[in-house]
A and B are shown apart, each in its own frame.
Chain A
Amino acid sequence: MSKIVNIVKNSSDFIHLDNVHEPMHDKNLWAAKTSREKAAAEVPEWEKLRELASQIKEHTLTHLDEYIMQFTHNAEKRGVKVHFAKDAAEHNQIVYDILSKHSVRSIIKSKSMLQEECGMTPFLEGHGITVTESDLGERIQQLYGEAPSHIVMPAIQKTTDDIAKLFAEKIGTDPNNKDAKSLNEAMRNDARPKFLAAGAGMTGANFAIAETGTFVVCTNEGNADLTASIPPLHIASIGIEKVLPKVEDLGVFIRVLTRSALGNPATEYTSHFTGPRKGGEMHIVLTDNGRSRRLGMTEFWHSLKCIRCGACMNTCPVYRRSGGLAYGATYSGPIGIILDPTFDQTKYSELPYHSSLCGSCTEVCPVHINISEQIIEWRKIMASHRLMPRGLAAGFSMADIMFKRPALFRLAEKMGYWMLKIIPKRLLYIKQNAWGRNRTMPTLAKQTFQDWYRENQKKKI
């Protein structure tokens, strides 16, 4: 029986850690949100592009078998070896088999949420293969022994001071060096020899084009290009939902991806791989890991449209105050709370309640995923499986009885008024009174609206 992630406690811990981390986290992600708005305002056809992106994805997903076939056929034509993994275990085994066939002892990789999802790194390390993350944010989290906290900015929960301390410990920099530029330089010099020594490079993919068998990787650092151009072996892990029909589609997606994520027109490097480098070998591991099952879920299959931009995380007021690690899953934030229950419905049963239902995530999504509606759908499922937080169910039973019977409701109002008037403050503001911890109690009116209406207005009529 999987242990339920207590997201309320985890997020509370982050908020109360100190006066630095949560405010910084909130401020930086709010800045990313407003950058998105500025960038989108510069594209007159922005809303049309979002509509196109959504429709292209829905078309592809409703014809996914055809496009997977076409992609595989075209990739193989250019000399790429395509493998198929049903789940995380198969994915990891396939990767390991390729690596051991080539006697690879160390690999360098660029960012892949799919590899994270499959737990690939601990698996490979358990088999004696060294894995180094090349993306700076991912490397920082790797050195911390933590999962990435945000899908685009993995180390966004860490301050410069945190990183300075980490680098001093792990790569021997001066602990008093808190300058971002020189910390980055230190990591650049530390990572470079690893690129040159690696027996294989691994990447993920942002998009996979069926028409040509090409996959596309977007980075700001150029680490995917280093990863692919130096070692003689390149393995790419690609989720089946990444497929797009045509090259032409990239015009739409590249224009919306990074503007949504960071407010820039694109990433510094948009790399297109259609075959191995000169003198190299290329493998693709096309992976399902629950995606086809999700495709069959009427209420939830739209979540497969996700292009991993992170805009929903940046805009979510709850995520900005919780930090991604509070979710205890590969995917956090709004997209996380609708994806994670498909991986483990019990472990992540409280995630769908970690939302004020403000709806900003739905409005911001470049592929128009109806995230807040899916959140409510998950709550319906949790309620029917009795996985609702226990206190809520009891409260609702009482509420249901009261709201069905007007006379009982009016009685409850009167009782409530007298109770709040009589109960001394110290008994009212106890630990169990969640409302009262940081708020004063509302005052019930002596004369309700209905009392007033009956007395004054009804007489007039």
Chain B
Amino acid sequence: MSSLESMLQSIKANLPKQKVSYPTIPSYESGPEDLLQEFQVNLLKAGGAFFKVSAIAEAQEIVKKIHPDASVICSATDEWKGTKDSHRVQQPHEMADVDLAIIRSTMGVAETGMVWLREVDLMISSLGFLCQHIVILLDPKRITRNMHTAYRQVELDKNNYGCFVMGPSATADIGAVLIHGAQGPRSLTVMFLEEPPIKTA
């Protein structure tokens, strides 16, 4: 089998003679002040929903109303006790019965209505994708302007997995009709809730 050296040799033998320099990318950090409003508009466009709450109990009441049939609730954050204990899950397959996943995100992106979910936020990554519905807790202070400002914060070299999630899972592969709930979560709801002051162990 080929090695890195033979691949590099092949490339070096074919490199174009005229080199092109690396451009300077503008910071793109200025713009309208109301990031929360922009985030909300784009989240709705992507098929997501949101509520503003001041306490976990409030969020839990809303969830009871919008997902009345959810019986297996698995939370990846200690702020919310679900019915399935995420700490006890060993294999990703065990998340297959989850009706509702609760995850706290550490960053939202106003330009797109995306939330950033890392393996550490999900505890087990499959939770965010095998669940039927997903609820995201997001502190509005954590909303950044756009993809440029977001990528300055992602720390990819410190996280094996991180995903920008924009609304529920979707497809338009059948007759070009847009459907939500393709393979992943059927719905995505953001609860704007301040982060707890001290993270519990």
Contact = CB atoms under 8 A, between A and B. Distances in A.
A and B touch in the complex (CB under 8 A): yes
Interface of A: 28, 31, 45, 48, 51-52, 55-56, 58-59, 61-65, 68-69, 72, 74, 78, 82-86, 90, 93-94, 134-137, 140, 153-156, 159-160, 163, 180-181, 183-185, 188, 191-192, 196, 209, 211-214, 220-223, 225-226, 228-230, 240, 245, 247-252, 254-255, 262, 264-279, 286, 288, 292-293, 295-296, 298, 301
Contact of B182 (A211, A221, A255, A272): A221
Contact of A65 (B1, B11, B26, B128): B11
A56 B10 contact: no
By secondary structure, the B interface counts as loop
A223 B19 CA distance: 38
Contacts of A225: 125, 128-129, 163, 184
A88 to B, nearest CB: 13
Nearest to A275: B160
Contacts of A209: 156
Contacts of B126: 226, 229-230
B156 A220 contact: no
Interface in B149-182: 150-152, 154, 156-157, 159-177, 179, 181-182
B13 interface: yes
B183 A62 contact: no
A269 B174 contact: no
Nearest to A218: B164
A251 B28 contact: yes
B108 interface: no
Interface residues on B, range: 35 or more
B200 interface: no
B170 A268 contact: yes
A247 B130 CA distance: 28
Given A183-B174, A270-B164, A277 B92 contact: yes
Given A223-B183, A269-B165, 16 more contacts: A45-B26, A55-B20, A56-B23, A64-B11, A65-B12, A85-B1, A86-B6, A180-B177, A221-B182, A223-B184, A229-B124, A230-B93, A230-B130, A245-B22, A266-B166, A271-B161
A52 B14 contact: no
A116 B167 CA distance: 29
A78 B155 CA distance: 13
A86 B179 CA distance: 40
Contact of B1 (A90, A192, A267, A273): A90
B182 A220 contact: yes
B7 A254 contact: no
B7 A240 contact: yes
Given A64-B15, A226-B130, A229-B129, A274 B156 contact: yes
A286 B3 CA distance: 10
Interface in B1-56: 1-4, 6-8, 10-16, 18-23, 25-26, 28, 42, 46
Contacts of B167: 268
A163 B164 CA distance: 31
16 contacts: A55-B23, A59-B20, A59-B21, A72-B4, A85-B1, A86-B6, A159-B175, A181-B179, A229-B129, A247-B151, A276-B160, A277-B92, A292-B11, A295-B11, A296-B13, A298-B16
B129 A68 contact: no
Nearest to A191: B183
B97 to A, nearest CB: 11
Contact of B161 (A249, A252, A273): A273
A408 to B, nearest CB: 45
Nearest to B163: A271
Contacts of B12: 65
A442 to B, nearest CB: 39
B14 A272 contact: no
Contacts of A254: 147, 164
Contacts of A140: 173-174
A314 to B, nearest CB: 12
A221 B152 contact: no
